[in-house]
Amino acid sequence: MNRTKGAIRMRARALIHVAVFLSVGALATSALAASADDFKMALAKAEAANKQAADIKNQWTTTGQAIAAAKKAADAGKFDEAVAHAQQAEALANGSVAQAKEQEKLWPDAVIR
Amino acid sequence: MASTIRVRAIASGDTTEVQSLIQHPMDSGFVKDAKGEVIPPHHIEVVQFEHGGKTVFTALWGPAVSKDPYLKFSFKGGKKGDDLKVSWVDNKGASDSLTAKIQ
Amino acid sequence: MLRKVLFAVALVAGTVQPLLADNAVNPQADFKAFRKYFTERFPKLPLNDFVNGPYSMDEGLRKQWQAKEEFPPYDFALDKGKEMFAKPFKNGKTYADCFPNKGIGVRQMYPMFDAKSGEVITLDIAINECRQVNGEAPLDYLKDDMASLTAYMAFTSRGKPMDIKILNDPRALAAYKKGEEYFYTRRGQFNMSCASCHVQNPGNHIRTEMLAPALGIMNALPIYRSEWGSMGSTSRRLTTCNSQIRGVPLKPEAEEYRDVEYFLSYMANGLPISGPGARP
Amino acid sequence: MNEFGGVPDRGRRIILKSAVAGGLVGLGFGSFPFPAFANADAKDWPADAFKQKSEADALKTLYGKSAEASDKVNLDAPEIAENGAVVPIAITSTLPNVTGIAILVLENPFTLAAAYKIPEGTQAAAASRLKMAKTTKVVAVVESGGKLYSATKEVKVTVGGCGG
């Protein structure tokens, strides 16, 4: 009865993903090696954005994971990688904040009337 | 402490239907814990049911039997009020037993 | 039969008087639309069957569930809950002293709006308040003990129609509205709301799991999941829902969770308590 | 010698036996100097049979023979398991003189899941719940009149029961 095979199609937030890939890609091709200071700055930005998401109770789990990966890479002295992860985390956190703001207006459209 | 064994034995006509549930982790030995370490196998090996001085059912279980294992079987004989004894032993030597009344 | 149930439900819903100042909050109208949506989407499903979640949606799953219900694996949790419920606190009092009808057959009244605190009180919160009043440490909302206790209390309430009151109190209506907002708001990296799964896709698979309809979804809680191999509380279910869509869960029994439980339980008014439920 | 002909692991068995004996005293068995019947005994467990990784080897170790398909063995298993951790399986048979039932889950790390000894007077039927790692053939084997008969069914497992 009523069994449909299709799984739910996730409506991927294409823009955010593009942004994430661009930032990671840009760094990978960058010839200049990142320093510990670069990492600290990138991390501070990511954490600030994630704090904003926390304040509106809309953090994504992947943001925290990217921050953890950034710290781990920095601990191993891999600052290029660390900065890339931190930038990814910032993009994810910004995405979650944007999502919450957008949803404030959009959620009533989904209500069963 | 409460028994690890639950048993329901119901006589109907000349047959007694037995259902049991035993509280046991039945760890397969293939699952890792939160730290990524393999949880060693820990499972019941033998379950025995006795009625009127006779073994009426013996189950031999490997690690593929589910957690808190369930069992159902039926035997001829057994009246309301008779004793049905259930006992089990696991691969670490732990054991438990219970005598239940047939309903 | 269906009409009778609907009529009874309408009576329950009749206790609500929408806040006149704000026409946007109208639980009665929401209730009607919600019920209409699900009964039209699943016209052959008896109304009382919605509370059985995925087992109401698929014959193969239903058969496995029925086989397990012959001697459900949650029997041990249920007995533990019964024991906990009866065991006196250090001061000699028991849970029975904290609840209407001595705590037996009361699951359908929760969550309830507490006019004193102005907040929604779930059964789990009421249990911990009872403990604290009697000088006991609260139980962890995510752990087995809480789930066992609520499982027993739900078990004594099986079959009773959900009976949630939205008081004519602006704070109650605000909590209801916040619950509705939480339910329909998309979140997590997957950008999904509770409704994405449980309104738009009940009966469909997400990865390997069959989604339950939102109508009556709270009536089965707490639930024993085969996946967990144990009984899990409402908090455990809600927090895992969040992490599954890659959202950081809120604190157990956070205001938003209590409000969404209030909203969903009100939508299920008249449907029977089926908890403790079993789920894949 | 256990009746399945499996060769038990001696050293291990002695440890288990003493542990079991200790357990019995703990359960107050001391008040029955002449117990009417013994409790479940780990020495009955066919350790080797439970180590086998194929249907043929498991049956050979357990019963010393192989099975032939029979429509008198009825295996009730779901087509799609709701969760591989708990799959209800029921076996019944109309064969006469049934002395044993075994359940094999072919894709599990070890093939043999459970074996049941059916004494005279007990029906040729057993229901239980099993773990399955992935989509697998399940084989029900019934020992009747000294021969083995089997029924096979595929169970689709989408959520494996061994991943934790």
Return the pLDDT at D160: 67
In chain B, what are the domains?
5-101 (2.60.40.10)
Asked if C71 lies within 8 A of B21 by C-beta distance, the reply is yes
Return the pLDDT at D159: 74
Q: Domain for residue A8, yes or no? A: no
Return the pLDDT at C12: 44
| Beta strand D147-157 pairing with D80-81 | parallel
Determine the Cα–Cα distance for residues C264 and D158; give it in Å rounded to an integer.
Answer: 30
Q: Does B45 touch chain D (CB under 8 A)?
A: yes
pLDDT tens column, B20-73: 999 999 999 888 888 889 999 999 999 999 999 999 999 999 999 999 999 999
Return the pLDDT at A80: 95
Return the pLDDT at D98: 96
Q: Taking CA atoms, what residue in B is nearest to C83?
A: B2
Domain count of the fold of chain A: 1
Chains A and C touch (3+ CB pairs under 8 A): yes
Residues 6 or more apart from B99 whose CB is under 8 A from it? Answer: B83, B84, B85, B86
CA atoms within 13 A of residue D80's CA, in its CB half-sphere: 14
b/e sequence C107-136, b meaning 16+ C-beta within 10 Å? bbbbbbbbeeeebbbbbbbbbbebbeebee
User: Do the beta carbons of residue C243 and residue C249 sit within 8 Å?
Assistant: yes
pLDDT of D162 over the 70 cut: no
Q: Taking CA atoms, what residue in B is nearest to D125?
A: B73
pLDDT of D36 over the 80 cut: no
pLDDT tens column, B93-102: 999 999 999 9
Q: Is C241 a catalytic residue?
A: yes
> Of the candidates A1, A62, A99, which has its C-beta nearest C186's C-beta?
A99
Which percentage of chain C shows pLDDT scores above 90? 86
Residues 6 or more apart from C117 whose CB is under 8 A from it? Answer: none
What string of H, E and C letters represents the secondary structure of C97-152?
Answer: HHCHHHHCCCHHHCCEEECCCCEEECHHHHHHHHHHHCCCCCCCCCCHHHHHHHHH
B18, B19, B68, B96: best to mutate for the C interface, most C CBs within 10 A: B68
**Which region among A20-34, B77-91, C52-66, C221-235 has the lowest average model confidence (pLDDT)?**
A20-34
Q: Does B55 touch chain D (CB under 8 A)?
A: yes
pLDDT of D92 over the 70 cut: yes
Q: Taking CA atoms, what residue in D is nearest to C225?
A: D83
Determine the Cα–Cα distance for residues C189 and A59; give it in Å rounded to an integer.
Answer: 9
- Hey, how many other C-beta atoms are within 10 angstroms of the C-beta on B43? 21
> Of the candidates B21, B66, B72, which has its C-beta nearest C75's C-beta?
B21
Residues in chain C, pLDDT under 50: 1-22
Residue with tokens 């925290």: A64
Q: Does B46 touch chain D (CB under 8 A)?
A: yes
- Measured between beta carbons, the chain A residues lying within 8 angstroms of C203 are 2-4
Say which amino acid occupies D26. Answer: G
- A-C contacts (CB, under 8 Å): 86
Return the pLDDT at C208: 76
Backbone φ and ψ for C76, nearest 5 degrees, come out as -70, -40
Residues 6 or more apart from D154 whose CB is under 8 A from it? Answer: D79, D135, D136, D137, D138
> Of the candidates B6, B66, B72, which has its C-beta nearest C75's C-beta?
B6
- The mean pLDDT of D46-57, rounded to a whole number, is 94
Determine the Cα–Cα distance for residues D30 and D24; give it in Å rounded to an integer.
Answer: 8
Name the region of C186 (left: φ>0; alpha: ψ -120 to 50; beta: rest): beta
Helix (H, G, I), strand (E, B) or coil at C155: helix
Q: Which of the two residues, D39 and A23, has the higher pLDDT score?
A: D39
Taking CA D125 as the corner, what is the angle to CA D119 and CA D129, rounded to the nearest 5 degrees? 115
- The strand pairing partners of B17, in sequence order, are B10, B74
- The mean pLDDT of A96-108, rounded to a whole number, is 96
Backbone φ and ψ for B49, nearest 5 degrees, come out as -120, 130
D14, D122, D155: best to mutate for the B interface, most B CBs within 10 A: D122
Asked if C79 lies within 8 A of B67 by C-beta distance, the reply is no
Return the pLDDT at B34: 83
- The mean pLDDT of D118-129, rounded to a whole number, is 96
In chain D, what are the domains?
10-43 (no CATH), 52-157 (2.60.40.2470)
The residue segments making up the domain with residue C203 are 2-279
> Of the candidates D80, D86, D127, which has its C-beta nearest C60's C-beta?
D80
Six-digit token string for D120: 């005279």
Asked if C226 lies within 8 A of D85 by C-beta distance, the reply is yes
Q: Assign residue C165 the CATH number of its domain.
A: 1.10.760.10
pLDDT of D145 over the 50 cut: yes
**Which region among A95-109, C57-71, D28-42 has the lowest average model confidence (pLDDT)?**
D28-42
The full DSSP string for A45-85 is: HHHHHHHHHHHTT--BHHHHHHHHHHHHHHHTT-HHHHHHH
The confidence band for A62, taking pLDDT boundaries of 50, 70 and 90, is: very high
- Measured between beta carbons, the chain B residues lying within 8 angstroms of D129 are 65-66, 69-70
> Of the candidates B47, B54, B70, which has its C-beta nearest D129's C-beta?
B70
Six-digit token string for C180: 């509705």
Return the pLDDT at B31: 87
Touching partners of C (3+ C-beta pairs < 8 Å): A, B, D
In this predicted complex, what is the ipTM? 0.81
Determine the Cα–Cα distance for residues C177 and D151; give it in Å rounded to an integer.
Answer: 57
User: Do the beta carbons of residue A84 and residue A41 sit within 8 Å?
Assistant: no
- Measured between beta carbons, the chain A residues lying within 8 angstroms of C243 are 61
Domain count of the fold of chain C: 1
Asked if D88 lies within 8 A of C280 by C-beta distance, the reply is no
Q: Taking CA atoms, what residue in D is nearest to B33?
A: D164
Determine the Cα–Cα distance for residues B54 and D125; give it in Å rounded to an integer.
Answer: 18
Q: Which of A69, A99, A78 is nearest to A27 (CA)?
A: A78
Residue with tokens 């599954």: C244
Return the pLDDT at C193: 96
Q: Domain for residue A5, yes or no? A: no
- B-D contacts (CB, under 8 Å): 155
Give the largest Cα separation in chain A, rounded.
Answer: 60
Return the pLDDT at C49: 96
The full DSSP string for B41-59 is: PB-EEEEEEEETTEEEEEE
Asked if C73 lies within 8 A of B8 by C-beta distance, the reply is no
User: Do the beta carbons of residue B27 and residue B40 sit within 8 Å?
Assistant: yes
- Measured between beta carbons, the chain B residues lying within 8 angstroms of C80 are 2
Return the pLDDT at D3: 42
pLDDT of D134 over the 80 cut: yes
